A and B are shown apart, each in its own frame.
Chain A
Amino acid sequence: MSQSSEPPINEKTLIEVKNLKKYFPVKSGILQRIRGWVKAVDDVSFVIEEGETLGLVGESGCGKTTLGRTMLRLVESTAGKVFFRGLNIFELSPQELKSMRRNLQIIFQDPYSSLDPSLAIGEQITEGLRIHSIGDREERREVLKELLHHVGLEDYHAKRYPHEFSGGQRQRIGIARALALRPVFIVCDEPVSALDVSIQAQILNLLKDLQRDFNLTYLFIAHNMGAIEHISDRVAVMYLGKIVELAPRDQLFKNPFHPYTQALMSAIPSADHHRHKQRIILAGDVPSPLDPPSGCRFHPRCPAAFKPCPIEEPPLKEISPGHWVACWLME
């Protein structure tokens, strides 16, 4: 990556991701020879400031979830570094990593499969406290009560099992579990996309309240632009393993520069039929990350592609303060 794409670091920086890569081998045949690599995250760099929400948006398979999980070292990275308050997470010893885990939590998309069906939810919420030997039984019970209260559940819910709860309630349980260790940073991986429409707003509000009350920092992953805009301070747009645009929220929504961001925004169906805009309908399918297009990965679908696009990859460049774009049109 060129010099221009170094993210700025200052004292407010909580997380710094540097040239992060995660490649998955694709094997075939009886010998399980490696046939190629899926470059799920391919040289991604950005910073997240203390207390902010960085939204990460992109279509399915573009690498959002892998990025979130690699950052937390839930899957091992292929290359790159992730710093938490200046400490490289990838270089921690198992012991150091265990205590670091308290700071870093994740909320999953599917509130159904992420809970253990055979365990009362109270025990699942406080499991982390037991693993880290925090407090005695009595204290843990107090913490549990507080947590249930914070996420809008009742004391008596603690003894119940996951199947007794609705989708929205299960997501509240998942959030309580993530909060138990008083984390600093939470990856929210599509936390509302599996929920009923009328429940989504409840959970989005809850996440905002908790952020304020506990001074949390979020990486909020979603494919829904409405939810992303509602909750984020800054937004990163991902396409086939790369960040193609990153900007403060209002700037990105008012003035998207990357042709992919523009298409993504114009494709959002809006319930307000007065604001219908010109739709940009992209041709073709999302290409496979196994064999991504040469040069700019978006070029085969890009309505504005020109000479350099199929040949060389455009660098992520800061075109105005805080607004980063990877597109040859910017050169």
Chain B
Amino acid sequence: MASSITIPQDKPEKAVNHLLDVQGLKTYFFTDEGIVKAVDGLDLKVRRGEIFGLVGESGCGKTVTALSILRLIPKPGRIVEGEIFFDNQAILKLSDREMRQLRGNRISMIFQEPLMSLNPVFTIGSQVAEVLQLHQGLDKETAWEQAINLLDQVEIPDPSDKARSYPHEISGGQAQRVMIATALALDPQLLITDEPTTALDVTIQAQILDLIRELSRDRNTSVILITHDLGVVAEMCHRVAVMYAGRIVEEADVGFFDRPMHPYTQGLIASIPIPGEVKNRLPTIQGNVPDLMGMPDQCRFAERCEARTDYNLNICTEIEPDLRQIHPNHAVRCWLFQSHEDHQAPLIVTEAGVIKRVVS
């Protein structure tokens, strides 16, 4: 699948003009029980026209990341640190009005529950038409015709009839298609989709993913695809970041599924049953997903990490590793690959991308 898509060429990091550049983002929730560090020092760069996957398990901070980029963090949450550049503009410095403009025109978002994003009292046709009137300055009649056109493009059956339906009269898959039609009307530079297919059936999921891929390819739209499904990422994305407990622990081109390097990513990929390869027992990751309240200053995966005990690493429970480049276009946050004062990294990655033990 990935081979049929042109992957943006690797250029030296400096020369790439990223559409989105998130630096050191921290978004905390100040709850009565304590501070939830939902996103805690996150760096993320998205190129023009690329589909960027953000994967991770429930509660790891994916949605909070998306809402931070849109500056839609609800109380008691707040962005406490960091910078977000969109098309070289520091968006955390924009006024609320300017931010609304940006959200309306250049960044849009599709949520997991499409029915929540549609207004229940207006027909779906009028909701798409309204975007066209506001955004492209079309008159009412042309906007309606154009809206039906877009509904047709996203394969809503009998679009001129269906345009008169209210959101509760259509299925989840159709509602998600209406959201994509709205995104087409907006023609944003960045589309953030938060679990756009999780609530849908598999055969409907395939339709929606196909539409998102087409939209990105035809209009050079950058897409951040948020999901917990590694399979969806492998089929859709050019680059992937894996989140764990508010942090990115691994980031790479999608080909990295061949050679994940972080113990968490390795464990996660190994634990998913692959169709056609039945094993008697599945490898598992021991323990539970950690609580983000009062996270100690150490590797957040340490409690569950078998590599830590295998390699006898004490530093993991003392200091947190950085997200560090270990191979071109491949960064990992793990002490297995980085040294520090008394700690010698036990592994290196060769030029060919093979993990080797350091002999001392």
Q: Which residues of A contact B (CB under 8 A)?
A: 59-60, 166, 168-169, 196-202, 204-205, 208, 223, 225-227, 229-230, 249-250, 253-254, 263-276, 279, 281-286, 301
Contact = CB atoms under 8 A, between A and B. Distances in A.
User: Most A CB atoms within 10 A — which of B210, B230, B236?
Assistant: B230
B91 interface: no
A268 B204 CA distance: 11
Given A223-B202, A272-B234, A204 B275 contact: no
B260 to A, nearest CB: 10
A198 B231 contact: no
A272 B258 CA distance: 8
B288 interface: yes
B224 to A, nearest CB: 17
Contacts of B258: 274
Contacts of A197: 57, 228, 230, 268, 271-272
B285 interface: yes
Contacts of A60: 201
Contact of A229 (B58, B230, B275): B275
A285 B173 contact: yes
A169 to B, nearest CB: 7
Contacts, number: 135
B159 interface: no
B360 interface: no
Contacts of A285: 171, 173-174, 204
Interface of B: 1-2, 57-58, 155, 157, 171, 173-174, 201-207, 209-210, 228-236, 254-255, 257-258, 267-269, 271-276, 278-286, 288-289
Contacts of B174: 285
Given A169-B288, A270-B231, 13 more contacts: A197-B272, A198-B57, A198-B271, A205-B284, A208-B280, A225-B202, A225-B275, A226-B272, A226-B273, A230-B282, A263-B203, A269-B209, A270-B235
When A and B form their complex, which 6 residue pairs have the shortest distance between CB atoms, in order from nearest? A269-B231, A201-B271, A226-B273, A59-B201, A201-B282, A230-B273
B5 to A, nearest CB: 11
B275 A268 contact: yes
B6 to A, nearest CB: 16
B202 A230 contact: no
Contact of B232 (A253, A269, A279, A284): A269
Given A196-B57, A199-B288, A265-B275, A208 B202 contact: no
A168 B2 contact: no
B1 A276 contact: yes
19 contacts: A59-B204, A166-B289, A198-B268, A201-B272, A205-B284, A230-B273, A230-B279, A249-B278, A267-B202, A267-B203, A268-B202, A269-B205, A269-B234, A269-B236, A276-B235, A279-B206, A282-B207, A284-B157, A285-B204
A236 B206 CA distance: 22
A208 B231 contact: no
A274 B271 CA distance: 18
A254 B57 CA distance: 31
A253 B271 CA distance: 20
B271 A196 contact: no
B275 A227 contact: no
A271 B234 contact: yes
Nearest to A223: B202
Nearest to A254: B276
A271 B270 CA distance: 10
A202 B236 CA distance: 28
A268 B257 CA distance: 17
A59 B231 contact: no
Nearest to B228: A197
A284 B271 CA distance: 33
A126 B79 CA distance: 48
B206 A281 contact: yes
A146 B274 CA distance: 33
Most chain A C-beta atoms within 10 Å of own C-beta, residue among B203, B255, B276 = B203
B214 to A, nearest CB: 12
B206 A283 contact: no
A168 B9 CA distance: 42
Nearest to B282: A201
